[in-house]
Amino acid sequence: MKKRRFPEGFLWGGATAANQLEGAYNEGGKGLSIFDMVTFIPKEERKNDIEMDVRSEEELEALLAGNEGDNFPKRRGIDFYHRYKEDIALFAEMGFKTFRMSISWPRIFPNGDELEPNEEGLAFYDNVFDELLKYGIEPLVTLSHYEMPLYLVQKYNGWTDRRLVDYFVHYAETVFNRYKGKVKYWLTFNEINVSTISPYIGSGILVDRVEHKEQAVYQALHHQFVASARAVKACHEMIPDAMIGCMLARMEVYPETCSPDDILAALEEDQKNLFFTDVQVRGYYPSYMLSYFEKNNIQIEMLPGDEEILLQHPVDFLSFSYYMTMVTSGNPDRLKERGNFFSGIKNPYLEASDWGWQIDPKGLRITLKKMYDRYQVPLFIVENGLGAYDKVEEDGSINDDYRIDYLRAHIEQMGEAINDGVEVMGYTSWGCIDLISASTSEMSKRYGFIYVDQDDYGNGTLERKKKKSFHWYKNVIETNGEEL
């Protein structure tokens, strides 16, 4: 068997986000976040798996006034807030070199626009980082993972308002300053390209309040780009040995056939995503996007200095989530089918998960090669994994061979990409411990090596159990990816 060349010091680990695991949504002085108002819709009632029911303005008002109405399972998370020591001990047992987590912005600044941080929130993350470092696990911290303070949505309509740049930078500087001795790896915005699909989740925009949706989304994104670049600048100044990256949801787009029309359609679809990394890694707006703005009557308001800040402070590395690939066509009628999660067209060569996410390990190798060719900066796969239903057997075991197969095939292809010359810093599989799903708020869509006893309605003991994949992944890390 060919030897894989995972470099020494390769950062193996797992990934999570505060809003999906911490719980304690109203403890420790935390303000409400945008995710605290996403409703859980049972599978039978959902029209599709990307539907997220964001509440109305009135409900939002009621939430902010403390009149909470029903209780969403999401708010309980998996209670990491109180159980982090137990969970981190399990990560350490698997041999994690790194743990991707996010800081909940409203735990530090409950409203988002105040000057003084909430000390209790800061202290919580001090404890979490200390616990990780005790085991030699490097924290990899996302500053904003779908969880801005809800107040910023209500008062400013999220990132459409320029003032958020300063609020975010103040938040970033506060946590850089506090954790400079503890955290070396940072990410600015989780899946920054998601705003074009879900403006609320990605940029905190209530679309009912705007006239031209795309205009509002791209203007908000401009503010996020500037905020991200200013955070990069601050991070470099305040923590000289740190590395800070951008993060996007990476989905390769395949043409349905070799017809030039399909190939052009796939290229253009992909450019809409590459735009995000072009700005954050290369440091400027690409001409294809400026032309798209012109054709669609979108005017981005830039202030003097914006272009300089983007150019002078690109990210150190590029990270992404990778779950699936898409297929597109130059023929609009073909796109009306719904056989694949994002694009309509089903790829007949691939299987899909129970949620219609088409599984494509080789696509990971393709995307790694492409992104490295384009940018020549280190890459980091910070999310990858299989959402699946798990069964606890009578003897308490959980035999998740399907998950092992999925991860093995992807890690194998990542190894091939490294053999092809791609520089990869690390790999953190998504939801290393079962947590609440971002797109569906389900608990039963599980990704973890560690099972958590809780159902979609928040019932269960929250007891943690090791799955079969726990032992498998431990060995992968121990052998630095040699034994899969």
- Tell me which residues are annotated as active site: 383
Residue number, 358 or 439, with CB nearest to ligand BGP: 439
**Using rule CB under 6 A, residue 430 touches ligand BGP:** yes
Stretch touching ligand BGP by CB under 6 A, among 344-352, 407-415, 431-439, 456-464: 431-439
Find the binding residues for ligand BGP in span 161-190 (CB under 6 A).
190
- The Cα 2–Cα 295 span in angstroms is 50
CA gap 5, 23 in Å, rounded = 39
Q: Which span (89-97, 253-261, 336-344, 433-441) binds ligand BGP, by CB under 6 A? A: 433-441
426: amino acid identity, one letter? G
Burial 131-143 (b: 16+ CB within 10 A, else e): bbeeeebbbbbbb
Mapping DSSP to helix (H, G, I), strand (E, B) and coil, where does residue 139 land?
Answer: strand
Pairing of strands 11-15, 98-102: parallel
Could you say whether residue 141 binds ligand BGP (CB under 6 A)?
no
**Pair of tokens at residue 214:** 């795309």
Rounded-to-integer distance, Cα 364 and Cα 252, Å: 8
Q: With beta carbons less than 8 A apart as the criterion, state whether 247 and 190 touch.
A: yes
Is residue 448 at the binding interface for ligand BGP, with CB under 6 A as the rule?
no
Q: Report, in Å, the least distance between residue 186 CB and ligand BGP.
A: 16
Give the x/- contact pattern for ligand BGP in 373-412, rule: CB under 6 A: ----------x---x-------------------------
Q: Is residue 47 within 8 Å of residue 356, measured between CB atoms?
A: no
For the bound state, the minimum distance from the C-beta of residue 93 to ligand BGP, rounded and expressed in Å, comes to 24
Q: Which of 420, 352, 418 is nearest to 387 (CA)?
A: 352
Q: What is the number of residues in the chain?
A: 484
User: Maximum Cα–Cα distance for the chain, whole Å?
Assistant: 65
By C-alpha distance, which of 40, 71, 69 is closest to 440?
40
Smallest gap from residue 13 Cβ to ligand BGP (A): 15
CA distance 195 to 161: 15
Q: Which stretch binds ligand BGP (CB under 6 A): 267-275, 280-288, 334-342, 430-438?
A: 430-438
Question: According to CB under 6 A, which one of 17, 226, 251, 350 is a site residue for ligand BGP?
Answer: 17
Residues forming beta bridges with residue 246, ordered by sequence position:
318
- Cβ 79 to ligand BGP shortest distance, Å: 18
In this structure, are residues 142 and 180 in contact, taking their beta carbons and an 8 Å threshold?
A: no
Least separation, in Å, of the C-beta of 40 and ligand BGP? 12
Closest approach of ligand BGP to the CB of residue 410, in Å: 14
Is 249 a binding residue for ligand BGP by CB under 6 A? The answer is yes
Site string for ligand BGP, 321-340 (x = CB under 6 A): x-------------------
**Smallest gap, in angstroms, from Cβ of residue 158 to ligand BGP?**
18
Stretch in the footprint of ligand BGP (CB under 6 A) among 307-315, 413-421, 439-447, 464-472: 439-447
Residue 439 touches ligand BGP, criterion: CB under 6 A: yes
111 phi and psi angles, rounded to 5 deg: -95, -30
Nearer to ligand BGP, 10 or 355 (CB): 355
445 binds ligand BGP (CB under 6 A): yes
Q: How many residues bind ligand BGP (CB under 6 A)?
A: 14
Site string for ligand BGP, 187-206 (x = CB under 6 A): ---xx---------------
d(CA 254, CA 270): 9
Give the nearer residue to ligand BGP in terms of CB position, either 277 or 439.
439
73 binds ligand BGP (CB under 6 A): no
Nearest to 434 by CA among 477, 474, 403: 403
How would DSSP label each residue in 312-352? H---SEEEEE----EEE-SSGGGGG---SSSSS---TT--B
- Find where tokens 């980091």 sit: 380
Residues that bind ligand BGP (CB under 6 A): 17, 20, 190-191, 249, 321, 383, 387, 430, 437-440, 445
